[in-house]
Amino acid sequence: MAGEIYIGLMTGTSADSLDCAAVEFSDNELNIIGLKNYDIPSNLKEEISENTRSKELNETLIKDLDLRLGEFFSDRVEKFITSLSLKKEKIEAIGSHGQTIKHEPNSIPPFSLQIGNPQLISNQLGIKTIANFRDDDIAKGGQGAPLSPIFHKEVFAIENKKRVIINIGGITNVSLLGGAKLIGFDTGPGNCLLDIWTKKNKMGNYDNEGSWAKLGTVDQDLLDIMMKDNYFSLEPPKSTGPDYFNLSWLQDCLMKLKREIDPRNTQATLAELTASSLSNSLKRLKIVNENKYVCGGGVHNKFLMSRISFLLGGKCYSTDKLGLDPDYIEAICFAWLAYKRVNNVKFNMSAITGSNEKVFLGKVYLPSR
Closest CA to 112 of 281, 337, 350, 355: 355
Say how many Å lie between the first and final Cα of the chain, rounded. Answer: 30
Q: Which CATH entry fits the domain spanning 4-145+328-365: 3.30.420.40, 2.40.50.100, 3.40.50.720, 3.40.228.10?
A: 3.30.420.40
pLDDT in tens, 37-70: 999 999 999 999 899 988 889 999 999 999 999 9
Predicted pLDDT at 85: 97
Measured CA to CA in angstroms, residue 329 lies from 73, 168, 278 at distances of 18, 11, 20
Residue type, 132: N
Task: Report the pLDDT averaged over residues 226-251.
Answer: 96
pLDDT in tens, 133-191: 999 999 999 999 999 999 999 999 998 899 999 999 999 999 999 988 899 999 999 99
Predicted pLDDT at 290: 81
Predicted pLDDT at 137: 98
pLDDT above 50: residue 1 = no
Q: Which residues of 289-314 are buried (b: 16+ CB within 10 A; e: fewer)?
A: ebbbbbbbbbbbbebbbbbbbebbee
Distance CA 306, CA 314 (A): 10
Residue type, 317: Y
Predicted pLDDT at 144: 97
pLDDT in tens, 290-318: 899 999 999 999 999 999 999 999 999 99
Question: Count of alpha carbons within 13 Å of 135, Cβ hemisphere only?
Answer: 12
- Which region among 11-15, 265-269, 328-332, 359-363 has the lowest average model confidence (pLDDT)? 11-15
Phi, psi of 202 (to 5 degrees): 55, 40
Give the 3-state secondary structure of residue 67: helix
- In SS3 terms, 185-218 reads as EEEEECCHHHHHHHHHCCCCCCCHHHHHHHCCCC
Predicted pLDDT at 238: 97
Strands 111-115, 129-131: pairing kind: unpaired
Task: Report the pLDDT averaged over residues 226-244.
Answer: 96
pLDDT above 70: residue 369 = no
Task: Report the pLDDT averaged over residues 16-37.
Answer: 94
pTM of the entire structure? 0.96
pLDDT above 90: residue 286 = no
The residue that leads in pLDDT, 36 or 27, is 36
Which pairs count as long-range contacts for 110-116, CB under 8 Å and 24+ apart, including other chains?
110/138, 110/144, 111/138, 112/138, 112/144, 112/145, 113/57, 113/62, 115/62, 115/65, 115/66, 115/69, 115/70, 116/9, 116/11, 116/66, 116/69, 116/70, 116/72, 116/73
Strands 91-96, 129-131: pairing kind: parallel
Closest CA to 122 of 363, 367, 369: 367
The answer to whether residues 104 and 18 touch, using CB atoms and an 8 Å cutoff, is no
Predicted pLDDT at 89: 94
Predicted pLDDT at 160: 85
Domain limits, the chain: 4-145+328-365, 148-322
pLDDT more than 90, % of the chain: 90
Helices 263-284 and 302-312, packing angle to 10 deg: 40
Distance CA 183, CA 177 (A): 7
Give the 3-state secondary structure of residue 18: strand
Give the 3-state secondary structure of residue 298: helix
pLDDT in tens, 61-117: 999 999 999 999 999 999 999 999 999 999 999 999 999 999 999 999 999 999 999
What is the average pLDDT value for the chain, to the nearest integer?
95
Contacts of 322 (CB under 8 A, 6+ apart): 155, 156, 293
Closest CA to 233 of 280, 192, 275, 171: 280
**CATH topology of 4-145+328-365 equal to that of 148-322?**
yes
CATH 3.30.420.40 for domain 148-322 = yes
